[in-house]
A and B are shown apart, each in its own frame.
Chain A
């Protein structure tokens, strides 16, 4: 075969692959919103769910989704950022550093259902918390940790060494350098990373079914972390799998659209301002 013909054919194949990928995405998004948009009324988004009759909403589930996310970030942010700072600023190459890196990488690859079972053993049974928001948030924190470590380390490594040298040469200690020079410059990179973590955590369900449970509190909003708290993603699975309500399809359609909408809005709210801010601070370009 003529090599120019082969080149044309290959190029056509690559364009076709890109077309298929974009096509799948567009189809998914239109399907989600075409089915879900008619359901999304204030009564559905904020209303209480029903066990047996039609017309239930997802208000408490939406609240629990954000409550568990905030609690899990509260647990995982300090530890994850601390470990990231250690790996980027303090760690010397050696077997111990390698071990920490390897085990973080392994933790990132653990399937979320396995972390869910671990959370069920440790938090729900051994610590005796029962199915509750706190147990769910703690298990979810384990899922966030390795990603937080990695994004923190990457954000810190992107800061030029000369910044640190200048600070140290002025007589600052290592901690002063990290706090006053390195962390402020790396903040935007870290915020973008955290928004990625949060987007993933918002849609997570396998880890929460057997830690946060499948029911919601009668009160709304209920800030008690020791009651069971079903999230929106878990609810979407539950109505498809075992719910008794007659309008399960309607609730599933609405929940799916709402869930994707929440993740998208969350990423846009954090992603776009931080990108604009970064452009302004770094004078164009960005990363």
Chain B
């Protein structure tokens, strides 16, 4: 083979693989639009039979007569807020500990430990909730045990690794010069942390909490196992209720594809999709606004 032909085939491969990579990137970029399109199209079919007002603002869920999904929307927001209340402060404190307080050997032990939290599958979290937390709450707090409280606690634990790793990264990204200046002025570690490091890392910490919320609102299996699965508006933290995700998991198998009931479940999925995409956009705004990377 002549040198020219080898050269030619080398250039041909170069161009070919460039197109392969461009095509894979384009494919990955297109998937989200396909997801939005198919879930939205199926979901919006609901409104050929049900008024949007009834779906979004009434609580009577009794298909095929009534399709009021407000209970589920409220439930999803409630467990998310509870999860952030339990997991947010604990995760942020854990991140500060790992980034700034812990001695080297403690950090070496604790870092893989937080990775282990990620390794536990979400059904196993649900199973622990079912076999430990539900009976405990039933005996010591009252009610059925199933409900928002246990779901919030389990989700709070599940978002810990997300909150810890993202906020630890942002705490480490704070310039050491800022910290040294503060220590140089005679500040204690807590003064330095609370007045210098935490404000400087704020966009990253907000990002961490929002990512945790996105994880909590979308979690299906663990919540379904401990929420009680009753389509009633919760009167307390320990009465059985339901969320968007738990209702989809529960009813998807019993409804024929294309029925109004089934379409209503798709619209719930679309609501979840919109909420989690909105969170990503909020993160982008927070990061751009403060001009820092998370």
Point out residues on A near B: beta carbons under 8 Å.
Answer: 3-4, 6-7, 9-11, 13-15, 17-18, 20-22, 24-25, 28-29, 31-32, 35, 78-83, 85-87, 89-91, 99-100, 102-107, 109-115, 117-118, 120-122, 125, 142, 145-146, 149, 173-176, 178, 196, 199-200, 202-206, 209-210, 214, 233-234, 236-237, 240-241, 249, 252, 256, 259-260, 263-264, 267
Contact = CB atoms under 8 A, between A and B. Distances in A.
Nearest to B43: A117
B90 A205 contact: no
Contacts of B224: 237, 241
26 contacts: A7-B191, A14-B101, A18-B110, A21-B113, A24-B157, A25-B116, A31-B128, A31-B131, A81-B24, A82-B23, A87-B25, A103-B32, A107-B35, A113-B220, A114-B35, A114-B272, A117-B42, A118-B35, A118-B38, A121-B39, A125-B257, A173-B10, A175-B17, A199-B119, A204-B121, A237-B225
Contact of B39 (A7, A118, A263): A118
Given A35-B131, A174-B18, A104 B160 contact: no
A91 B24 contact: no
B28 A236 contact: no
A59 to B, nearest CB: 19
Nearest to B125: A28
Nearest to A17: B93
B118 interface: yes
B285 interface: no
A129 to B, nearest CB: 13
Contacts of A17: 90, 93-94, 97
Contacts of B242: none
B31 A83 contact: no
A157 to B, nearest CB: 14
Which are the 8 A-B pairs with shortest beta-carbon distances? A203-B121, A111-B218, A82-B24, A17-B93, A7-B188, A10-B190, A86-B21, A173-B14
Contacts of B265: 117
Nearest to B92: A17
A43 B249 CA distance: 31
Contact of B42 (A6, A81, A121, A240): A121
A233 B272 CA distance: 23
A103 B29 contact: yes
Contact of A114 (B131, B221, B273): B273
Given A121-B266, A236-B124, 14 more contacts: A4-B188, A9-B190, A14-B97, A21-B113, A79-B27, A111-B272, A114-B269, A117-B269, A121-B38, A175-B16, A199-B119, A203-B122, A209-B252, A240-B130
B94 A7 contact: no
B214 interface: yes
Contacts of B42: 117, 121
Nearest to A122: B38
Given A83-B25, A205-B122, A263-B121, A32 B128 contact: yes
B277 interface: yes
B114 interface: yes
Interface in B181-208: 188-191, 193-194
B160 to A, nearest CB: 6
A110 B124 contact: no
A107 B135 CA distance: 37
Of listed A106, A112, A113, A145, residue having the most chain B CB within 10 A: A113
Interface in B25-47: 25-35, 38-39, 42
A91 B29 CA distance: 13
B35 A90 contact: no
A193 B222 CA distance: 25
Contact of B190 (A7, A80, A86, A103): A7
